[in-house]
Structure 1
Amino acid sequence: MRSPKVQLKRVTKKYANGDGVENINLEIYEGEILTLLGPSGCGKTTLLRILGGFNAIDDGEVLINGNNVVQLAPEKRPTAMVFQSYNLWPHMTVFENLAFGMKLRKMPRTQIKEAIKSMLDLLKMNGTEKKYPNQLSGGQQQRIAIARSLLLKPSVLLLDEPFSALDAKIRMQMREELKKIQAQLNITVMFVTHDQEEAMALSHRIVVMDKGKIAQVGTPTEIYDQPVSKYVASFIGEMNFIKEADGELAVRPENVRICSGNSGNYKGTITSIMILGHFASVHINYEGQDVKAFVARSASFELCETMPVSFELIKYQRYKKGA
């Protein structure tokens, strides 16, 4: 059985406006990327800042490597935090930015130089040592910000929506790079995002937050296939909610199968068809409700708007009223 690297026990932090987190119990294991996911104000950044020592707590314990760090200042904790805004010093070169923390720890100059060279090799950014942050792209600046934290060899790397300022293509590249670096160095990462796609792509486990509490913890597959509540089901991925007398059926668009003829259990009329690359999104009016189905692009050519169709649900979950 794996021993936890980080343990949050009964952690509570409340702000004057009522926001914050309450009675949080959570474990993070060595070498995993654990992502806190949820909408603005759900408490995910508060938890990250609590672990980093930037927010004091009202109650509970924060253990790293078995040691309670509640009384330790951020610089005394075995953590390093990367912010959304990079926080690179504009008057320093890349080398000086990377060396800053190691110089404070009084590491030998030759060791600093070797460590920076190895890190830039890993990030494929050799030759940028003498450049200033304003000479780098947003993605390159974020790589340097992450590298600066990694060079301090933290027990836990804390990432607060680090890719949200980047465009979609660069964001995807940065996710892939982070996952490779994390695997190569076997570092423990706590990642905060409101982007469900990012959470699904990066994480070993996801913590879905809702109004200061944990709604569900699980692997991306568990969260996607077995959401424990309608809130989680609606927050992760696309979901149809089909009303019934005593509740609702939650079904993913890829689990709605359009049938030939009238062989399906449900009958409706196609209202729109959108080609999205290799597949198509088909909207069906079912008893006044909009049901979305994903179908292969080749199959969509046999369909048209206003066409009556039948369909069946391959896999779904039932939520009773109020669940």
Structure 2
Amino acid sequence: MSTAAKEIKLQITQMDKVYDNGDGVRNINLDVYNGEIVTMLGPSGCGKTTILRTIGGFLNIDAGDITINNQSIAQLPPEKRPTAMVFQSYNLWPHMSIYENLAFGLKLRKIPKDEIARRIDAMLEMVRMPGCEKKYPNQLSGGQQQRIAIARSLLLQPEVLLLDEPFSALDAKIRMQMREELKKIQSELGITVVFVTHDQEEAMAISHRIVVMNKGKFEQVGSPTEVYDNPATKYVASFIGEMNFWNQGNEVIAVRPEDVKILPGHTDNGINGTVRTVMILGHYVDVNVQCGETVIKCFIPRTECGSCDVGDQVHVEFGRNVVFPKDE
């Protein structure tokens, strides 16, 4: 998604939210464009959920501003904001049927009954769960409950949909399906989404842009391709995907396993090593080479691996790589 011609939907400016113990986020600036998925990615405690909750109104900010469509929302309570939030824990009311769960917010908005029914029918079709209106949450699987939670939020037609680790309680296969569903729904509706996760594969899969966070600060903001191919800092390089780090003088060379070549025999002026492990993982082979005190990981297409065995003397060559100062 090109951001050049896009209108800014959500803007966070010079925002601070600091807790009593000194943790939190400071001087946060972010533009989110209309119709894009921006993912806040980082380990637990880095501040990503804090930012999401300030957008949703569940936390008050200490400084700065948050605007949607150029209107400040910083002083509005959650129910008055043009946002909807989906939590990890679904938050469906267990005593209400699926229809009642979905209709609840629309009734509060005084929307006519027949219009509510029409919208719910259309939304259940969109999340691929038609005909489940009379069921109760405990009759649905975790993935189905999360679809209903997302449907309930989308029915409110928010300007910005906020998702707080919504798929982390699901097993791997369902999680992958839900990512695909979310991308499809987001694309069809053209909605703006701010997504929070600690799972870098999830961030790479669903995002137009990723905000990589570390200790309350932004390390890099860019497309999945940008943060993968051109990490701005050593932290980003180590956090996104697999990465080898090779110390050379005052520099550290960062190279992806798929950009490492293994060649037979030792060489006079290259990086020599011994094959430590060989693991066949479907269409590629994961080979670890012990080079001095460093283990270099290589991903080799299965067709090119040949007869690479544990104990073989080899040397490695680096393809595309990024260089960082050693003390970074």
With the length of structure 2 as denominator, give the TM-score of the two structures: 0.97
Pick aligned residue for 2:179 from 154, 175, 184: 175
Which residue of structure 2 lines up, in the alignment, with residue 136 of structure 1? 140
What amino acid does structure 2 have at the position aligned with 1:282? V
Specify the alignment match of 1:213 in structure 2.
217
CA distance in 2, matches of 1:78, 1:40: 27
The alignment of Structure 1 onto Structure 2 pairs a total of residues equal to: 323
The answer to whether the 8 Å contact 2:94/2:136 transfers is yes
In the alignment, structure 1 residue 314 sits paired with structure 2 residue 324: no
Report the residue type matching 1:103 in the other structure. K
Alignment of 1:9-158 (within 5 A): 9-158=13-162
Deviations 1:74-130 (A, max 9, x none): 000000000000000000000000000000000000000000000011111111000
Q: CA deviation at 1:261?
A: 4.9
Deviation of 1:294 (Å): 0.5
Indicate yes or no: 2:282 matched with 1:277: yes
Alignment partners' CA distance in 2, 1:149 and 1:86: 11
Unaligned runs of 5+ in 1: none
2:296 paired residue number: 291
CA distance in 1, matches of 2:7, 2:193: 15
1:247 matched to 2:251? yes
RMSD, aligned α-carbons: 1.1
SS in 1 for 2:309: coil
Q: Which amino acid in 1 is paired with 2:38?
A: L
> What secondary structure sits across from 1:116 in the alignment?
helix
Aligned-residue identity in percent: 61
Please list the CA deviations of residues 152-173 of structure 1 after superposition, one character each: whole Å capped at 9, or x if unmatched. Answer: 0000000000000000000000
CA displacement at 1:262 relative to structure 2: 5.2
CA distance in structure 2 between the aligned counterparts of 1:312 and 1:266, rounded to whole angstroms: 7
Q: CA deviation at 1:291?
A: 0.2
Q: 2:22 & 2:281 partners in 1: Cα distance?
A: 42
Judge which range, 185-194 or 286-295, deviates more: 286-295
Deviation for aligned residue 1:266: 2.1
Q: Which moved more, 1:169-178 or 1:270-279?
A: 270-279
Distance 2:304 2:326 in 1: 36
Deviation (angstroms), 1:260: 4.6
